[in-house]
């Protein structure tokens, strides 16, 4: 086929800081002129190095890969690649080459995700990169699996060269055909420190593990994933399913979750793990969190004692179909726990709460006012307690002390002793009932 020349395109590029890739062209029957007058598109020759190269064999990426390669000949960090609205069918993975600053790729948002990138029958990711890439920006497009069978539809894995990578994905919709399947995820960002996912939807699992980095997810809809960093911020998030696993980073890690979560159909939606390290994992949740179906607990995680959990100003609701009362915490011991101004619905108890029946009658209820490595205070309420046997009753603390536990107040009339693991109530061996408070402080 004759190569179609477009000499005017080169002059246009020189006069502006962006390259245009069109979804329309002669090759797909959507235009009467090559690439609908844009710089690249479906009429671009495969592996073309110049916008004037059109004709067979045609591009396998609707001109997107050729536009990236063309931009790399100049100062790519000063160029943007603009995608028109419409459907871009790609039959070969689009790869950002190894470079500090590749060109940004920006679609159109005249309608909701009006730039659609749809995969043909291929096993490679729709977008990937050759490490290292230090700064990447993608905006305003939907990326759909089509017949793709890759492990991740967008795979920006740079775990082998982890350093300060600044990636920003804004207004991106990544859709896996079966978001609940473990065989294909939506997005992998491993190794990319100091990066952002904003105003986006990932309809499929995500992996974002950068142990030495910070990352921020805001105003987005997610479907679970695995996350690891020094600082993780998830703000104004809606979840439509999936399980979330958070791991401590290279140092003391902070996870800040605010917004609205609504996962359902998984055994435990939020999991926090300290990786058997000595680094604390600090979790701050100020969110409305609502769950349903078959959870065994709302939050869980490691068996080691380096989890710090702050639920101040949270609303946590469980509307399960099998039970209306499940534990909030299903993991191991906590190092720090705070829960001022928390609203609970359908939750049996907080991890620092317990209620135990008296040997004969009544109850003993425990709760902390503060639980931390440096200071812990338990308030224990006796209500109609009775023990008319000769056997003492021992009750463990929900969360133990580490070194000392001292009784600083007792108006129950009972003889009580305390250890770091719990209390022992000396049997009064009578039918007398006892009520009152016991205060135990220590660390």
Three-class HEC string of 99-130: ECCCCEEECCCCCCCCEEEEECCCCCCCEEEC
Please check whether residue 97 is in contact with residue 72, taking contact to mean a CB–CB distance below 8 angstroms: yes
Helix and strand numbers (H, E) in the chain are 2, 34
Kindly state the average pLDDT of the residues 357-386. 93
Per-residue pLDDT of 145-157, as tens digits, reads 888 889 999 999 9
Per-residue pLDDT of 173-209, as tens digits, reads 998 877 666 678 899 999 988 899 999 999 888 999 9
More confident residue, 330 or 389: 389
Please check whether residue 250 is in contact with residue 211, taking contact to mean a CB–CB distance below 8 angstroms: yes
Least confident range from 147-156, 285-294, 407-416: namely 285-294
Please check whether residue 229 is in contact with residue 247, taking contact to mean a CB–CB distance below 8 angstroms: no
Residues of the chain by 3-state class (helix, strand, coil), percent to 5: 5, 45, 50
Per-residue pLDDT of 385-409, as tens digits, reads 999 999 999 999 988 998 999 999 9
More confident residue, 296 or 98: 98
| pLDDT band at residue 283 under the 50/70/90 scheme | confident
For residue 354, pLDDT beyond 70:
yes
Mean pLDDT of the chain: 85
For residue 265, pLDDT beyond 70:
no
More confident residue, 161 or 217: 217
Q: Please give the pLDDT value at position 28.
A: 96
For residue 344, pLDDT beyond 50:
yes
Non-local CB neighbours of 25 within 8 Å, separated by 6+ positions: 31, 34, 35, 36, 41, 42, 43
Please check whether residue 289 is in contact with residue 318, taking contact to mean a CB–CB distance below 8 angstroms: no
For residue 112, pLDDT beyond 90:
no
Per-residue pLDDT of 4-38, as tens digits, reads 333 333 334 555 689 999 999 999 999 999 999 99
Q: Please give the pLDDT value at position 12.
A: 47
Kindly state the average pLDDT of the residues 278-288. 79
Q: Please give the pLDDT value at position 297.
A: 72
Between CA 100 and CA 109, with CA 105 as vertex, the angle to 5 degrees is 150
For residue 305, pLDDT beyond 60:
no
| pLDDT band at residue 365 under the 50/70/90 scheme | very high
Q: Please give the pLDDT value at position 155.
A: 96
Kindly state the average pLDDT of the residues 303-320. 74
| pLDDT band at residue 296 under the 50/70/90 scheme | low
For residue 168, pLDDT beyond 90:
yes
For residue 439, pLDDT beyond 80:
yes
Please report the DSSP string for 70-100 in residue order. HHTTS-GGG-EEEEPSEEEEESS-EEE-SBS
Q: Please give the pLDDT value at position 395.
A: 97
- Longest Cα–Cα distance of the chain, Å, equals 105
Kindly state the average pLDDT of the residues 262-267. 63
Per-residue pLDDT of 225-260, as tens digits, reads 899 888 999 998 888 777 788 887 777 788 898 887
For residue 295, pLDDT beyond 90:
no
Smallest CA-to-CA distance from 85 within 116, 45, 120, 123 is with: 116
| pLDDT band at residue 2 under the 50/70/90 scheme | very low
Tell me the sheet residues that pair with 281: 253, 307
Please check whether residue 191 is in contact with residue 160, taking contact to mean a CB–CB distance below 8 angstroms: yes
Q: Please give the pLDDT value at position 11.
A: 39
Enter the pTM of the model: 0.83
* Other C-beta atoms lying within 10 Å of the C-beta of residue 170: 18
**CA 222 to each of CA 4, 227, 243, 255, 420: distance values in angstroms, whole numbers, following the listed order:** 44, 12, 10, 16, 41
Kindly state the average pLDDT of the residues 425-441. 96
Both structure tokens of 51: 């916008």
Please check whether residue 135 is in contact with residue 105, taking contact to mean a CB–CB distance below 8 angstroms: no
| pLDDT band at residue 111 under the 50/70/90 scheme | low
């Amino acid at each position: 086929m004759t190569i179609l020349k477009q000499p005017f395109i080169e002059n246009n590029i020189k006069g502006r800081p962006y390259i245009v890739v069109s979804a329309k062209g002669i090759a797909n029957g959507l235009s009467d002129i090559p690439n609908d007058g844009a710089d690249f598109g479906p009429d671009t020759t495969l592996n073309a190095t110049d916008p004037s190269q059109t004709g067979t064999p045609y591009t396998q990426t609707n001109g997107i890969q050729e536009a990236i390669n063309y931009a790399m000949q100049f100062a790519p960090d000063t160029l943007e690649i603009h995608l028109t609205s419409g459907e871009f069918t790609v039959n070969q993975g689009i790869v950002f080459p190894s470079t500090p600053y590749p060109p940004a790729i920006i679609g159109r948002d005249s309608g909701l995700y009006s730039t659609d990138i749809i995969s043909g029958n291929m096993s490679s990711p729709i977008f990937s990169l050759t490490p290292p890439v230090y700064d990447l920006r993608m905006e305003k497009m939907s990326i759909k699996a089509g017949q793709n069978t890759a492990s991740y539809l967008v795979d920006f894995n740079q775990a082998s060269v982890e350093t300060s990578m600044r990636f920003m994905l804004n207004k991106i919709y990544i859709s896996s055909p079966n978001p609940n399947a473990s065989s294909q995820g939506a997005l992998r960002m491993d190794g990319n420190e100091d990066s952002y996912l904003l105003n986006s939807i990932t309809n499929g699992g995500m992996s974002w593990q950068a142990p030495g980095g910070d990352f921020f997810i805001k105003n987005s809809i997610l479907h679970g994933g695995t996350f690891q960093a020094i600082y993780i911020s998830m703000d104004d998030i809606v979840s439509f399913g999936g399980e979330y696993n958070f791991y401590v980073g290279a140092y003391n890690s902070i996870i800040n979750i605010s917004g609205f979560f609504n996962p359902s159909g998984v055994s435990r939606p939020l999991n926090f793990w300290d990786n058997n390290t000595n680094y604390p994992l600090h979790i701050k949740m100020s969110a409305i969190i609502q769950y349903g179906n078959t959870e065994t607990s709302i939050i869980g995680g490691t068996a080691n004692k380096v989890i710090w959990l702050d639920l101040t100003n949270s609303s946590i609701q469980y509307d399960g179909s099998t039970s209306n009362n499940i534990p909030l915490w299903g993991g191991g011991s906590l190092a720090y726990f705070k829960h001022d101004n928390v609203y609970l619905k359908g939750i049996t108890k907080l991890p620092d709460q317990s209620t135990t029946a008296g040997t004969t009658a009544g109850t003993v209820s425990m709760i902390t006012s503060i639980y931390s490595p440096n200071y812990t205070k338990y308030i224990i309420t006796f209500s109609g307690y009775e023990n008319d046997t000769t056997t003492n009753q021992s009750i463990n603390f929900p969360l133990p002390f580490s070194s000392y536990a001292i009784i600083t107040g007792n108006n129950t009339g009972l003889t009580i002793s305390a250890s770091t693991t719990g209390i022992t109530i000396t049997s009064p061996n009578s039918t007398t009932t006892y009520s009152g408070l016991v205060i135990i402080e220590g660390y």
